[in-house]
Chain A
Amino acid sequence: MLWACILLPQLALDGVLRRRPPSDEPLVLVSGPAQGRIVHAANAAARAVGIYRGQRLTAAQALLPSFAMVEYSTGDESHWHRLLAAWAYRYSGDVGLLPHAVVLEVSRSLNLFGPWPRFESLLREDLVGLGFRHRVALAPTPQAAYVLAGVEDGMAVMDAPKLRGALSFIDVARARLPEGVAPSLQSMGIRTLAQLLALPRASLQRRFGGELVAQIDRLLGDEPSPMESYRPPDTFDQRMEWTHEIEHVEALMFPLRRLTGDLSAYLAGRDGGVQRFELLLEHRDRPPTRVSVGMLAAAREASLLFDCARGRLERVELPQPVVAMQLLAPDLPPFVPAGRDLFDARPANAMPLDQLRERLRSRLGEQAIQHLRRTVDPRPELAQTSAPYVKEAPPRKGLPRPAWLLDQPRPWRGPPPELLAGPERIETGWWDGGEIRRDYYVARTAQGQYAWIYGAPGEQGRWMLHGWFA
C-alpha cells in the first residue's frame, strides 16, 4: 500500500480567498467570542505586516488600521474539506479524511496516472487550479504520510523498510502523537522519533497508555489506521456568499467559474456527468433568482459547464444585487450511452431535440422557441398563439388562408391590387370589445405577390394588408 497525503494548511482561508478575485489586499479570518476576537488565519499581505494566527484582533488592528475581515466558519471549512475529498476520489477509490488533510491510497493508481513524480505534479496542478495551498507526501501508511507532509513538502517514501529511517529524525512534537504526549516525552529527554521507537513498548504502554502504542503501530503500518472513509454524495450543492453586494452579472463570472470548476472536479471524482443544474442567485430581501442550465449531454468538463452557465447567466436581469450564489445539481446521471435503434435513420452523433432546444434557448433567450397552434378565436390575429396551454380548435374549413401572417395588419401602399377571390366576411369579436367587421380578399400586387387584404364591408380601397400567400 502507498498513501499520498495532501495536507491543507490554510483550508478555511483558501476557501474564502477563492471566492474573491485575486488581490493583494490584506485579509484576515477572525474567530472567537465577541470580547476576545482572535486572528484565525491571515493572508500573505496581512502576514507581511506582522499579523499572525492566534493574535488578538485588537493587536492586529494596532498593526494595520484597516483590513478585510471574514468570520471563520467551521461549516465552511468542512465543506471545502469534503469537496477536496470528492476531487481526490477521482484518483483513488480509497480516500480518507484527516484533520486538515486528505489521504488517498495510490499504489494501484500509479499504473494509471504514471510514476509518482508525474502523478504528484498532476495532483498539484489540480490543487493549484482549484485554489488550495497544499503539501504533498507519500508513504506506505496514511499516518506516516500525514506526519511527513506536516514536516516537509514533497517527501516520498516508496517502501516500508525505508520508512523507519525516514521517520527517525522527526521531532516528537511534530509526529502527530496523542495530545499531551510530546511535552512529556521532551521532558524525559526524548526528542526524535528514532529515540521514541527505540524504547520498549511495554514501558511506553504503562507510562502513556495504549493510545500512544497504537499510534506508533499505525505509523509503521503494524496496525491499520481507523479513518473516516470517504464516499461521494449523490448530489452536488455548493454555495458562495459575499460580504458585499454584487450588482452586475459580469461580476458573477469569477465565482461562477469557481462553482462550475468545483462541480467539474466533483464529477470527475465520481466518474459521472451532469445534464442540468440550477444556479440560485440570492438577494437580500426577495426570493432568489433561479437560473437553470441544461447541457447537450451529460458533461463534466469545467470549461463546458462554465460556458453553458455563462450563456444563461448573461441574459439574467438582476432584480436586486446578489449576496450569495448557490449551485445545485440534484440529479447526476451516470455516463450511460443512450440506447439507439439499429434502424434509426438519424446520424449516430445526433443530439436529442430537447437538448437542441435547450441549447438554442440558452443563447437566444427563453422565449426564442415557439410552437404555434390554433385557438378557438375566429379573429385572424387571435386565431393562433404560441402560448403553451390553449384550447385547440378543430381545423377550419373555408376560404384559403395565407402562409404568412403580418404581426399587425398595415395599410396597403402602392397601386391598387387586382382582386382574385373574395370577399370573405369576418364579423366577430363582440364579446370582449375587440369587435371586427372586415371583408377579406385575395389580391395580386403589381409585383406578382399574392396578398391577403381586407377593407371595411362594402368598401373597396383603403386596403389593409394582413398576409402573404407565399
Chain B
Amino acid sequence: MGQVVALDSLFHSRQVWHGRAAPLPGSSEPTGWPMLDAALPTGGWPEHAMTEILLPADGVGELQLVLPTLARMTQAQRHVMVIAPPYVPCVAGWEARGVVMAQVDIVQAADRDVLWAAEQCLRSGSCAAVLAWPMHADDRALRRLQVAADTGKALAFVFRDRRHVAHASPAALRLELESDPSPRVHVRKCRGGNPPAQAIALAAGWS
C-alpha cells in the first residue's frame, strides 16, 4: 500500500480540510453551571430530551447539578415532578437554592411504577422537567422516556448508578459524577458533538 503519512503533518501543511459539525442551535435551557454550558454542544441541557446522570453514591452533588435549573423553572411558574427520590427533599435546602416548592410535586412510586410515572409526566406536556430515580431501567425503557420527553417537550433527568456507564444509552446527554477527590462531572456522551475530555469542577454541595 501507499506511504504512511502522519495526520498531523497533513493538517499543518493545510492539505486536509478539518471539517467541523455545523453548530447546533443554542439551548434555551442553560444548566446554571457556566463551565458545563460551555462544554456542551448546545450550550445547555439538550431540549426535549433525556439527560442521564450517573452516580457513584447518593449525595455526591447530583441535585446541585439540577437545582439551578429547577430554581429557574419554578420561579417562572413552570412545573417540576420528582419521582421516587431516594431521600426526602429538604425544603429548606431546596429553597435556599431558589426552588419554589409549590411548583414541585413529589411522586412516591414503587420500583415497577417509576418508569411508568415518569413517562406519564413527560408525555403530559404540563411539566417543564421530570426527575426520576428508576431502580431497573433497560435500554427500551430509557428509549421510551426519551420519546416521551420529546412528545411532551420536557427535560428528563434520570439518576442511575455509575455502573451503567458501560452500557449504551439512548440519552441525549450522559453525565458521570465523581466526588473524590473533589466534586466533578464528566460528560460521557452528548448529542451533536464530542464529549469534552476534561472533567468540569462543581462547587462542593454544602457551600
Binding site for B on A (CB under 8 A): 345-347, 349-353, 355-357, 359-360, 363-365, 367-374, 383-384, 386, 395-396, 400-407, 420-421, 442, 447-451, 467-470
Contacts and interface: CB of A to CB of B under 8 A. Distances in A.
Contact of A359 (B63, B102, B120, B151): B120
B90 A400 contact: no
Interface stretch (B14-22, B92-100, B137-145): B92-100
Given A373-B102, A405-B93, 8 more contacts: A370-B108, A372-B88, A402-B90, A404-B86, A404-B89, A448-B181, A468-B87, A470-B59
A372 B59 contact: no
19 contacts: A345-B153, A349-B125, A351-B124, A351-B126, A359-B120, A363-B117, A364-B117, A371-B105, A373-B91, A384-B91, A403-B63, A403-B90, A404-B93, A406-B87, A447-B60, A448-B183, A450-B206, A467-B90, A470-B60
Nearest to B92: A401
Interface string B108-143: 111001001100110111110000000000000000
A364 B108 contact: yes
Given A357-B105, A360-B107, A470-B205, A347 B93 contact: no
Contacts of A364: 107-110, 113, 117
A451 B90 contact: no
Closest 8 CB pairs between A and B? A468-B59, A448-B179, A350-B125, A469-B205, A448-B180, A404-B87, A401-B92, A469-B206
A463 to B, nearest CB: 15
A341 B204 CA distance: 42
Contacts of A363: 113, 116-117
Contacts of A371: 101-102, 104-106
Contact of A369 (B60, B107, B205): B107
Contacts, number: 174
Nearest to B159: A470
Given A350-B124, A373-B101, A470-B205, A402 B93 contact: yes
A369 B121 CA distance: 12
Given A383-B91, A448-B180, A470-B205, A401 B105 contact: no
A68 B128 CA distance: 59
Interface string B165-191: 000000000000011111100000000
Contacts of A374: 91-92, 95
Given A371-B104, A448-B60, A406 B91 contact: no
B206 A384 contact: no
B147 to A, nearest CB: 13
Nearest to A345: B153
Contacts of A355: 124
Interface in B46-75: 56-64, 67
B79 interface: yes
A404 B125 contact: no
Given A347-B125, A405-B87, A468-B58, A372 B101 contact: yes
A450 B105 contact: no
B126 A353 contact: yes
Chain B CB within 10 Å, residue with most, of A359, A386, A450: A450
Contacts of A401: 90, 92-93, 96
Interface residues of B, number: 56
Contacts of A447: 56-57, 60, 179-180
B179 A356 contact: no
Contacts of A403: 63-64, 67, 89-90, 93-94, 97, 205
Contact of A470 (B63, B104, B107, B182): B63
A233 B67 CA distance: 52
B207 interface: yes
Contact of B117 (A360, A404, A407): A360
Contacts of B180: 447-448
Nearest to A468: B59
Contact of B152 (A347, A357, A373, A395): A347
Chain A CB within 10 Å, residue with most, of B60, B63, B206: B206
Given A369-B106, A373-B91, A351 B125 contact: yes
Nearest to A466: B90
Contacts of B59: 404, 449-451, 468-470
Nearest to A351: B124
A116 to B, nearest CB: 44
Chain B CB within 10 Å, residue with most, of A386, A404, A421, A449: A404
Nearest to A452: B206
A364 B89 CA distance: 19
Contacts of A384: 88, 90-92
Contacts of A372: 88-89, 91, 101, 104, 106
A356 B90 contact: no
B193 to A, nearest CB: 26
Contact of B106 (A353, A386, A451, A469): A386
B178 to A, nearest CB: 8
Contact of A405 (B89, B110, B153): B89
A470 B58 contact: yes
Contacts of A383: 91-92
A404 B89 CA distance: 5
A346 B61 CA distance: 30
Chain B CB within 10 Å, residue with most, of A367, A370, A467: A370
